[in-house]
Structure 1
């Protein structure tokens, strides 16, 4: 899976990149603001993205998320303030709260990989606050 990271804190982006690569995926690049995210998406359309809410240009991560959702690119918010996520999750699959544990990120990444691959029978791990529609039982 080709993954884009949208994170303005360099050390956190590097840590996340390492986790993604250890899980067998490829990082297409890291963006630190909305414009960089747009450019990176155009240059290397990712299969998935991790998006922080607060970036170099302010709280534009939600806008980045909406941009990704409009292009059909699944993503998850990774943020220290998940209360800022809109009720509709701005199209995100869910959110991972910072600080996260390495094991929590590994479990979330396994779930995300399965979801992106179309395996709908996988339950989200505790480390991932899943979008409410993903956790409701079907009628």
Structure 2
């Protein structure tokens, strides 16, 4: 994403670290991988960007999980996806902000 002009401030593998990073960095947008390395999902994390006004999308290879209520009104990119699609959706999120 750096080639598209974005500053990447992750990846962040655990929910608690994601929340800390969002609070500290106030990013323009966030990409939340549904499954985090600590076994949790990103759905509980998704409430924090809402509070901070950070637009986000879910990235997942598990469409069943992406249909959960927390993600139902969000952009979802199904893995694998191409970088151009990620850039397009992130650009739309930032522009709509």
The answer as to whether partners of 2:29 and 2:93 remain within 8 angstroms in 1 is: no
| Aligned residues between the structures | 96
CA distance in 2 between counterparts of 1:30 and 1:88 reads: 21
CA distance in 2 between counterparts of 1:113 and 1:95 reads: 14
The structure 1 segments of at least 4 consecutive aligned residues displaced by more than 6 Å after TM superposition are none
Structure 1 unaligned blocks of 5 or more: 1-19, 120-139
Cα RMSD of the aligned pairs, angstroms, is 2.1
CA distance in 2 between counterparts of 1:43 and 1:90 reads: 27
TM-score, normalised by the number of residues in structure 1? 0.60
The answer as to whether partners of 1:54 and 1:60 remain within 8 angstroms in 2 is: yes
Q: Which has the larger radius of gyration?
A: 1
Ranked by relative contact order (alpha carbons within 8 Å, sequence separation 6 or more), the top structure is 2
Of Structure 1 and Structure 2, which has the larger fraction of its residues in strand? 1
CA distance in 2 between counterparts of 1:88 and 1:57 reads: 19
Distance 1:31 1:91, change over 3 A: farther
Structure 2 unaligned blocks of 5 or more: none
Q: Quote the offset at 1:53 in angstroms.
A: 1.0
